[in-house]
A and B are shown apart, each in its own frame.
Chain A
């Protein structure tokens, strides 16, 4: 099937070798050996962690716990997804955690204290995020203060703003049914299946379109087997997830039935698809990678570097706002510690564990989701095993360090094999 006639196969720039399954696999392996490992450590780590926890604590594998993983990890994952954009430029946003706290506090104040409907509150929270992000971005890009310092200042100041908004430590409950549903309710099982089916069909269509247009123009295509494998792989993962989440999780079905995909899952999925589309398929995304790879080259190519730098901070803080909304929904309230303590470090950890480079230029939104899963699994599994939070912090710290060293080492490897 790979021998579809490619009209100008022998033209020098498109080498004669039509990729086959074996050459595709070999190419991937050689890229991995050359230091381009991507999310491989996160995926392997996830498998190892899940196996270990499943053996040590059978309750880890229950459907109820599986659903818990998603709702526990959602806020951190959402913040990490925004952080990827900032990390892609080689910048950092240390204030993302408390920015999510500020946005959650705004949400709680608008909906509970002022009594506006939920959508006004959500809009206010996201706008607060956008405002915070533009401020950080302008300070970094236009004034030229290192992002580490700007966002460290933000980290302290936002912590204070949360306290002020909470009137020195009071906590505000969030009772709006729509807001509470985000992190606490599930989709009807049928809708879960429908969305999963839609996602697989959409993915298959995109892959098929790409294959067809490339083949029609005589460009090198991925072998059809690989295209199939991708679609089947996604279908398997989504199918298994939806099946597990659609199991009855309630201890007593007579009192209340608890099944279906948590609402945060499609929320994360939609943002994941949007973020991936922006980064991979638009020139804006391309320019983010370019500025992260070589700022001077980007400037000479006519890219407005300052605008890109400001925009990623806006995206990051807006995503933090969404993370804050989810956190408020899960806790049914906002307190002065929302978005505080380990939230930011878990989020940075999630992005880096997933394979986003701290040096800029390398990373995907998917990395944040995979890394967020690793962080959530560690947190959840070690909790089930009865370890204290002290041990949990140490283990998460070690995993983050491991991920960062994998990043640094793979960069060295890439530099060594780059033939510079």
Chain B
């Protein structure tokens, strides 16, 4: 594998009271690649993302950004590093237009007055850079957009700020076939533009369609980080449901053992 990871997590632990949700998790995201983060419900995907984006503090473990250790205590720290998360509910204001949503909370101003032309131009440039052709007018209210267009706006909002890592939480979950294809194409383009993209998805077709690497979580443990080309659909499903598949995954006999099954951390190409 080519470069060093842009974002690397080592030994992340996270508990909510007595429940340990993440257990010694390692995770890397590389620039120019789509890393799919898969796992069953409750495997810890969302928790991991919230730790990365600074919403939850971690109990243990270290963050490396560009091989430099960093600490992320709140969402502002994450944003300062260039880490942006597009949540499943998108967090768009229906009553505002596309430009207003993309700049929400970080409006460009001339003194007291909003600088609308600059914002509109930056939004247009960003959408053009992502080759988005589905939006009729930048001054459309978001309420008039389709699900795929909303997702597009949310993603464009995330990349507007020279972000380096974009994490997408189930971007295609609510979309139809054509719109899913559009959004996946956009996800691919983000990576081709040099960003490190993390894609959370339940849909294996999506994962195999766009990802370069797959990271599988099983009951709070990272059971595999492998190249997409090195693994089959069936193996991934096994990793998600049982925590192991052949030589991959948890080493102990029973995948759900708590007794100290060190996660067979990523024998894949990432290491």
A-B contact pairs, 5 of them (CB 8 A): A14-B124, A217-B121, A282-B113, A302-B105, A418-B145
A213 to B110, CA, bound (A): 14
Q: Are A290 and B96 in contact (CB under 8 A)?
A: yes
A292 to B93, CA, bound (A): 9
Q: Are A213 and B117 in contact (CB under 8 A)?
A: yes
A15 within 8 A of B: yes
By Cβ-Cβ distance, the 8 closest A-B pairs, closest first, are A301-B105, A293-B93, A293-B95, A361-B95, A297-B91, A13-B124, A301-B104, A13-B127
A-chain residues with CB within 8 Å of residue B145 when the two chains form the complex:
418-419
Closest residue of chain B to A12 (Cβ to Cβ) is B133
Q: Are B105 and A294 in contact (CB under 8 A)?
A: no
Instruction: Tell me how far the C-beta of A258 lies from the nearest C-beta in chain B, rounded to whole angstroms.
Output: 41
Say whether chain A's binding surface is mostly helix, strand, loop, or mixed.
loop
Say whether chain B's binding surface is mostly helix, strand, loop, or mixed.
loop
Q: Are A293 and B96 in contact (CB under 8 A)?
A: yes
Q: Please list the residues of chain B having a beta carbon within 8 angstroms of any beta carbon in chain A.
A: 75-76, 87, 89-96, 100, 104-107, 109, 112-114, 117, 120-121, 123-125, 127-128, 131-133, 135-139, 141, 143-147
Q: Are A419 and B93 in contact (CB under 8 A)?
A: no
Q: Are A419 and B114 in contact (CB under 8 A)?
A: no
Closest residue of chain A to B89 (Cβ to Cβ) is A296
Quick one: which of A396-420 are within 8 Å of B by CB?
A: 414-415, 417-420
Number of residues on chain A facing chain B (CB within 8 A): 37
Q: Are A289 and B95 in contact (CB under 8 A)?
A: yes
Quick one: which of A368-412 are within 8 Å of B by CB?
A: none
Which of these, A12, A217, A283, A290, contacts B93 with CB under 8 Å? A290
A11 to B138, CA, bound (A): 12
Which of these, A286, A293, A297, A303, contacts B114 with CB under 8 Å? A286
Q: Please list the residues of chain A having a beta carbon within 8 angstroms of any beta carbon in chain B.
A: 11-15, 34, 36, 213-214, 217, 219-220, 281-283, 286-287, 289-290, 292-294, 296-298, 300-303, 361-362, 414-415, 417-420
A14 to B125, CA, bound (A): 10
Given contacts A283-B107, A286-B104, is CB(A294)–CB(B91) below 8 Å? yes
A282 to B112, CA, bound (A): 6
Given contacts A289-B93, A362-B95, is CB(A13)–CB(B105) below 8 Å? no
Instruction: Tell me how far the C-beta of A11 lies from the nearest C-beta in chain B, rounded to whole angstroms.
Output: 5
Which of these, B87, B120, B124, B144, contacts A418 with CB under 8 Å? B144
Most A C-beta atoms less than 10 A away, residue of B90, B112, B124, B147: B124
Q: Are B105 and A12 in contact (CB under 8 A)?
A: no
Closest residue of chain B to A283 (Cβ to Cβ) is B107
Instruction: Tell me how far the C-beta of B271 lies from the nearest C-beta in chain A, rounded to whole angstroms.
Output: 35
A376 to B95, CA, bound (A): 30
Q: Are B117 and A286 in contact (CB under 8 A)?
A: no
Given contacts A219-B121, A414-B143, A419-B146, is CB(A301)–CB(B91) below 8 Å? yes
Given contacts A292-B95, A293-B95, A297-B91, is CB(A11)–CB(B128) below 8 Å? yes
Most A C-beta atoms less than 10 A away, residue of B93, B114, B136: B93
A362 to B95, CA, bound (A): 7
A300 to B50, CA, bound (A): 13
Instruction: Tell me how far the C-beta of A305 lies from the nearest C-beta in chain B, rounded to whole angstroms.
Output: 11
Q: Are A286 and B100 in contact (CB under 8 A)?
A: yes
Closest residue of chain A to B107 (Cβ to Cβ) is A283
Q: Are A417 and B144 in contact (CB under 8 A)?
A: yes
Instruction: Tell me how far the C-beta of A44 lies from the nearest C-beta in chain B, rounded to whole angstroms.
Output: 23
A292 to B94, CA, bound (A): 10
A297 to B104, CA, bound (A): 9
Most B C-beta atoms less than 10 A away, residue of A13, A290, A296: A13
A-chain residues with CB within 8 Å of residue B105 when the two chains form the complex:
287, 290, 298, 301-303
Closest residue of chain B to A88 (Cβ to Cβ) is B95
Closest residue of chain A to B121 (Cβ to Cβ) is A217
A281 to B155, CA, bound (A): 26
Q: Are A286 and B91 in contact (CB under 8 A)?
A: no
A302 to B54, CA, bound (A): 14
A362 to B43, CA, bound (A): 41
B-chain residues with CB within 8 Å of residue A414 when the two chains form the complex:
143-144
